[in-house]
Amino acid sequence: MDHKTPLQDMNDRSREIFRRVVETYLETGEPVGSRTLTRALSEKLSAATVRNVMQDLELMGLLDSPHTSAGRMPSQQGLRLFVDGMMEVDTVSAHDRAAIDQTLGNDDPDTGVLLDRVSTALSTITRGASLVLMPRHEAPIRHIEFVSLGPDRALVVLVFADGHVENRLFTPPVGQTPSSMREAGNFLNAMAEGKTLSELRGHIGREIAARRQELDVLAAELVQSGLALWDGESTDPRLIVRGRANLLDQEAADLDRIRVLFDDLERKRDIVEFLELAEKGDGVRIFIGSENKLFSLSGSALVVSPYMNADRKIVGAVGVIGPTRLNYGRIVPIVDYTAQLVGRVLSGRKG
């Protein structure tokens, strides 16, 4: 068995027919028939010849044929092949560029307000739902406190040296008492002062192991569940989601899948984890359908790009979610441009 890619297995005729099917489907959202293609191809072919080529592409796993239609549409594998090997990426239009630039032109001191405007502009321009993962707050910590709100609800309060305060709601380990919460807070405060969250995160695990005898078991569990919370579990306040309503502008057949996606976006479940995947690599990444667990049920795609701070460290990400028939060639450069612009603006704020 050889290791050629499906693209290498195609001749020029198959490649053109495949490209036309994908481009027409991304434009219309409808399966593409052989008669439609015969009018668009550069080589004059009969509808029967085009049908035979489409059948071959279907056998290769690159096209699907819906039961209700004689036409073909790209499979998930076909979309991935097109995106990776054939897609022509547009430049960002002057109109789109101006809309993005305008959101960052207002010198608002609050980064959250700024990135909220960016997220709103992205959803408007792309007609998808937009995601923006804000930078972690990296000022030194002044104080940490656990507050019980009931048997199964607690708050961790983080006060930073620059006056910034973060409150995160979480479910504490079973059996927590006011005294174990005080002990956990004292334990953290003894080592937290002057450290950023990421510095503290690396330090705590070692300290718990070294001082296991001193620290009550309940307090140790609480410290570790607090750590998990800071690592992005729960509904992370760093995540801004805008434009969910844009996802409803689709065929009725997709509505059940869209509702699942709505629920995911509402809970923000797993999304931070996916955006943090983007923090591990440079440039735009595209996840299609079941290539990621979040969107496998929703028939959706995510285009995401990280952005960097003044030290060239990746600190957040911006992305767009939409149906798998997104206009990738247009949206990829928009997401890339936005991420680079956000990085430049945030870098300029650091003295």
Residue-wise pLDDT for 65-103, tens only, equals 887 667 899 998 999 999 998 898 889 999 999 999 988
Q: How far does Cα 5 stand from its chain's mean position?
A: 28
| Position with higher pLDDT, 343 vs 265 | 343
Mean pLDDT of 225-238: 53
Q: What is the pTM of this model?
A: 0.72
Q: Residue 194, SS3?
A: coil
pLDDT band with cut points at 50, 70 and 90 for residue 250: low
The class of domain 94-135+237-349 in CATH terms is alpha beta
Least confident of 26-40, 125-139, 209-223, 278-292: 209-223
> For the purposes of burial, counting CB atoms within 10 Å of the CB of 47, is it exposed (0-12), middle (13-18) or buried (19 or more)?
middle
pLDDT above 60: residue 269: no
The strand pair at 300-308 and 153-160 is best described as: unpaired
Fold of domain 141-230: Enolase-like; domain 1 (3.30.390)
Beta bridge partners of 138: none
Contact 145, 180 (CB under 8 A): no
Contact 191, 200 (CB under 8 A): yes
Mean pLDDT of 42-60: 86
Mean pLDDT (the chain) is 79
pLDDT at position 99 is 92
pLDDT at position 95 is 94
Beta bridge partners of 301: 288, 322
Residue pLDDT, tens place only, 299-331: 788 898 988 888 887 788 899 988 888 889 999
Residues 6+ away with beta carbon under 8 Å from 208: 215, 220, 223, 224
The structure tokens listed for 54 are 């489409």
pLDDT above 90: residue 289: no
Mean pLDDT of 9-23: 88
Q: CATH: 1.20.120.80, 1.10.645.10, 1.10.760.10, 1.10.10.10. Which one for 6-84? A: 1.10.10.10
d(CA 3, CA 189): 57
d(CA 54, CA 79): 15
The structure tokens listed for 122 are 């992205």
Q: How many residues does the chain have?
A: 351
pLDDT at position 38 is 82
Contact 143, 186 (CB under 8 A): no
The CA-CA-CA angle for residues 57, 33, 86, to 5°, reads 45
pLDDT above 50: residue 234: no
- Domains of the chain, by residue range, sit at 6-84, 94-135+237-349, 141-230
